[in-house]
């Protein structure tokens, strides 16, 4: 009887839940918090946050949900929304927060009176990124509150609550996700109904809270520092930080943060049993609970995805009675994504029996440019244009076209950060190297290529910029670029590249020779030149055709 009842209530639970990616859960949480606007720049693993809100905006007309030129401009637009009293979300991948770091760090010093939440999606394991930096460090750097969900439900709950917390502490609040949660689906119960949007309300005295002149910034900084006490006190009481002490085991305990908890619980036969366990979902961490645990056990294993932040806080530099194990002691690897298997090993449990064929060796299958991709033709032309030079430099950037570094193309030699290609080619040219070529996509150019191009124009640097203009943000799923491709030539001319050295070519298989000829002419030109290779991305073409075609 009772079993049947349980099954029915289970059924009810799962059917009333919405199945969402971690990213979508964050977006829905923000919607339920009554946001008026959301901004971002596409970047794996964060893209689906804004896409979810855009789909909602297409259906309901609200909220404003827009891709921006880059993460900095996105953050600044969000600041404008909250300055006039409405709630705003800004989402980005971890390295995007570096781009937005200037407004991000300074925004802590503003008197935030309408909730401002920044979602930063970290990528431990570098599935789709050039580093695995941990955004929790940046939250601490800015001295703001950071919430780290362990599952999709918490992603929703934390995103929703983050707006209230932002207003309560007059600080922006960060929600930190990792790839594995951002891109995993599970049932989420949205709970109470969505809050209404706020009404317009400017800060009472913007001259004293939003104008960071040194004298004002000093006062605001003191306020931020005073608020730290309140944040710590709040963290102590937060239900997202839980401590369970096991009276039977005074020897060993577990500390988890974020999704580290999932991998730990997965390795327990009975999740209700096991040694003493402190779970941390907020930064600042609950120091009192840490001390309670430290008094109870002699050693702890810290399980967190990303940098060993909690681990380092707990260990400190002075001798304490507590032994802290984790990434810095080699119990878990210092790099890469956390997995249940790594946690299992750290817990000293025997590995699960698995299936293996001895001697089996399979060739890898790395990602590659699509068959028929316009970048293939551009790289073929670039190869030909560079023939005959004893040495060449091709600095490139971040996007699908970065795959041109792999065989069979091996056409590019660097990928550092958005827009770096142009600045680096200029530097190489300044150093006396020729030919120096910069390769980047249209969206990368709009994101961070215009400012270094100004430097190159100012110096009339002897270099060539090849803009691979496929009319979309390809790698992240063909989002619209902030301005249409047609404008790129106008921008290039606008910053002062001579019209005769700003050339447009067709990136298609029949035009490789013509493209190569134009590229070679511009590479031979002693001064700044820009070649725009144009053809729409095939994925984007497919999507546009499907949208136009409608249902069969």
Site residues (CB under 8 A) for other proteins? 7, 10-11, 14-15, 19, 21, 44-45, 47-48, 127-128, 180-181, 183-187, 259, 261-263, 265-266, 271, 339-341, 344, 351-357, 360, 362-371, 400, 403, 407, 475-477, 551-552
Q: Are 438 and 422 in contact (CB under 8 A)?
A: yes
Whichever of 47 and 429 has its CB closer to other proteins, that residue is: 47
> Diameter of the chain by CA atoms?
86
Residue 13: strand, helix, or coil: helix
Whichever of 134 and 337 has its CB closer to other proteins, that residue is: 337
The torsion angles phi and psi of 21, rounded to 5 degrees, stand at: -65, 155
135, 445, 518 from 449: Cα distances, Å: 25, 4, 21
CB 404 to other proteins: min, Å: 12
Task: Give dist(CA 425, CA 434) in Å, integer.
Answer: 9
CB atoms within 10 A of CB 376: 23
Tokens of 552: 């069969």
CB 190 to other proteins: min, Å: 16
CB 358 to other proteins: min, Å: 11
Q: Are 453 and 492 in contact (CB under 8 A)?
A: yes
Whichever of 130 and 508 has its CB closer to other proteins, that residue is: 130
CB 75 to other proteins: min, Å: 22
Residue 503: strand, helix, or coil: strand
Q: Are 430 and 456 in contact (CB under 8 A)?
A: no
CB 201 to other proteins: min, Å: 38
Task: Give dist(CA 251, CA 245) in Å, integer.
Answer: 11
Q: What angle do CA 122, 418, 134 make, to 5 degrees?
A: 20
Whichever of 155 and 505 has its CB closer to other proteins, that residue is: 155
Computed over its alpha carbons, how large is the radius of gyration of the chain? 26
CB 224 to other proteins: min, Å: 35
CB 371 to other proteins: min, Å: 8
Q: Are 306 and 125 in contact (CB under 8 A)?
A: no
> What does the buried/exposed string (b/e) look like for 182-209 if buried means 16 or more CB atoms within 10 Å of the residue's CB?
bbbebbbebeeeeeeebeeeebeeeeeb
CB 498 to other proteins: min, Å: 36
Say which DSSP state 352 is in: P
CB atoms within 10 A of CB 291: 11
Say which DSSP state 134 is in: -
Q: What angle do CA 100, 70, 89 make, to 5 degrees?
A: 65
Torsion-angle region of residue 360: left (phi > 0), alpha (psi -120 to 50) or beta?
beta
Task: Give dist(CA 357, CA 69) in Å, integer.
Answer: 50
Burial of 76 (0-12, 13-18, 19+ CB in 10 A): middle
DSSP states of 384-428 as a string? Answer: HHTTT-S--EEEE-SSGGGGGGSTTT----EE-STTHHHHHHHHH
CB 45 to other proteins: min, Å: 6
């Amino acid at each position: 009887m009772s079993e049947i009842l349980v099954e029915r209530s289970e059924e009810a639970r799962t059917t009333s839940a919405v199945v969402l990616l971690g990213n979508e859960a964050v977006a829905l949480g923000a919607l339920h918090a009554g946001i008026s606007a959301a901004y971002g720049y596409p970047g794996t693993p964060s893209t689906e946050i804004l896409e979810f809100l855009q789909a909602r905006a297409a259906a309901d007309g609200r909220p404003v949900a827009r891709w921006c030129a880059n993460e900095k401009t996105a953050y600044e637009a969000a600041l404008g929304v909250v300055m006039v009293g409405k709630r705003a979300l800004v989402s980005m991948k971890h390295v995007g927060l570096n781009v937005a770091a200037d407004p991000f760090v300074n925004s802590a010093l503003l008197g935030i009176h309408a909730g401002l939440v920044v979602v930063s999606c970290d990528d431990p394991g570098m599935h789709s990124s050039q580093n695995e930096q941990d955004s929790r460090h940046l939250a601490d750097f800015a001295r703001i509150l950071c919430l780290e969900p362990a599952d999709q439900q918490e992603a929703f709950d934390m995103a929703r609550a983050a707006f209230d917390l932002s207003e309560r502490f007059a600080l922006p609040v960060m929600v930190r996700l990792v790839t594995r949660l951002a891109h995993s689906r599970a049932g989420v119960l949205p709970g109470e109904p969505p809050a209404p949007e706020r009404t317009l309300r400017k800060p009472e005295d913007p001259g004293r809270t939003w104008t960071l002149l040194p004298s004002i910034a000093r006062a605001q900084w003191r306020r931020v520092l005073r608020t730290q006490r309140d944040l710590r006190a709040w963290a102590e009481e937060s239900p997202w930080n839980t401590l369970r002490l096991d009276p039977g085991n005074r020897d060993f305990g577990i500390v988890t943060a974020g999704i580290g908890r999932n991998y730990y619980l997965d390795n327990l036969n009975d999740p209700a049993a096991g040694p003493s366990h402190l779970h941390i979902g907020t930064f600042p961490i609950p120091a009192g609970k840490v001390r309670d645990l430290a008094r109870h056990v002699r050693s702890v294993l810290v399980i967190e995805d990303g940098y060993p932040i909690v681990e380092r806080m707990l260990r400190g530099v002075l001798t304490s009675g507590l032994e802290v194990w984790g990434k810095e002691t080699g119990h878990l690897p210092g790099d890469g994504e956390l997995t249940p298997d790594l946690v299992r090993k750290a817990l000293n449990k025997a590995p699960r029996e698995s299936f293996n064929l001895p001697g089996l060796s399979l060739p890898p299958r790395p990602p590659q440019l699509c068959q028929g991709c316009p970048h293939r033709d551009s790289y073929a032309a670039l190869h030909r244009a560079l023939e005959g030079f004893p040495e060449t430099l091709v600095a490139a950037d971040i996007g699908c076209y970065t795959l041109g570094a792999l065989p069979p193309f091996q056409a590019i030699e660097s990928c550092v950060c958005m827009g770096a290609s142009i600045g680096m080619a200029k530097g190489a040219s300044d150093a006396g190297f020729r030919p120096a070529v910069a390769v980047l996509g249209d969206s990368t150019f709009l994101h961070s290529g215009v400012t270094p191009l100004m430097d190159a124009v100012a110096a009339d640097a002897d270099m060539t910029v090849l803009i691979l203009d496929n009319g979309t943000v390809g790698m992240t799923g063909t989002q619209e670029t902030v301005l249409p491709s047609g404008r790129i030539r106008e921008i290039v001319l606008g910053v002062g590249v001579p019209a005769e050295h700003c050339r447009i070519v067709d990136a298609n298989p029949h035009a490789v020779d013509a493209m190569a000829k134009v590229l070679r002419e511009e590479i031979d030109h002693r001064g700044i030149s820009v070649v725009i290779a144009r053809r729409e991305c095939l994925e984007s073409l497919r999507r546009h055709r499907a949208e136009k075609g409608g249902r069969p």
